[in-house]
Amino acid sequence: MSTAKTLLSLMAATGLLVACSNTEQAAVTAGAGAGGAGQIRPGSQEDLVANVGDRVFFDTDRSTIRADQRTVLDRQAAWMQQNAAVQVTVEGHADERGTREYNLALGQRRANSARDVLVAGGVAPARIQTISYGKDRPEALGSNEDAWAQNRRAVTVVR
């Protein structure tokens, strides 16, 4: 988890990941980076990031799963069925263009939306926890539309 996150933020910082509202691109890019470090253990966070995609993105103030994001969650559900021992936390986040308290609730609703798709895809609810960080843990640190699009997200994290 921490490696993937560090990689992602490193790439964001160096401009490799500028307008990454496309999850496939994130997974592929991160996979290429993680691949250099050696084999990826199945069922690990690195596996999830490299081969499945660990996150989905949302429209401003919305917590419904976008049609273009749904496949990522379907793949996550299949991956969790393959890796039956894996337990995850879905972290919900918001961009900085809202108030702290509302964004905390919004991040929770986003995490719940993602969880509901995983559960509908056959994952036992007990394997999934959710938490919201609102606007308080941005992935992209800029103050612009691209950064906000990256930050309106639900990230699945292997526990």
Does residue number 61 form part of the binding site for other proteins (CB under 8 A)? yes
Cβ closest to other proteins, residue 39 vs residue 101: 101
Is residue 26 within 8 A of residue 8, CB to CB? The reply is yes
Q: Which stretch binds other proteins (CB under 8 A): 10-18, 35-43, 44-52, 75-83?
A: 10-18
Cβ closest to other proteins, residue 97 vs residue 127: 97
Cα torsion 101, 139, 17, 56: sign: negative
Closest CA to 91 of 50, 146, 31, 135: 135
Give the Cα separation of 127 and 139 in Å (integer). Answer: 25
For the chain, the maximum distance between any two Cα atoms, rounded to a whole number of angstroms, is 42
Does residue number 108 form part of the binding site for other proteins (CB under 8 A)? yes
Give the Cα separation of 119 and 73 in Å (integer). Answer: 10
Cβ closest to other proteins, residue 3 vs residue 112: 112
Cβ closest to other proteins, residue 79 vs residue 155: 155
Does residue number 143 form part of the binding site for other proteins (CB under 8 A)? yes
Give the Cα separation of 108 and 114 in Å (integer). Answer: 10
Does residue number 97 form part of the binding site for other proteins (CB under 8 A)? yes
- Chain residues binding other proteins by CB under 8 A are 9, 12-13, 15, 18, 61, 96-102, 104-106, 108-109, 112-113, 131-132, 136-143, 147
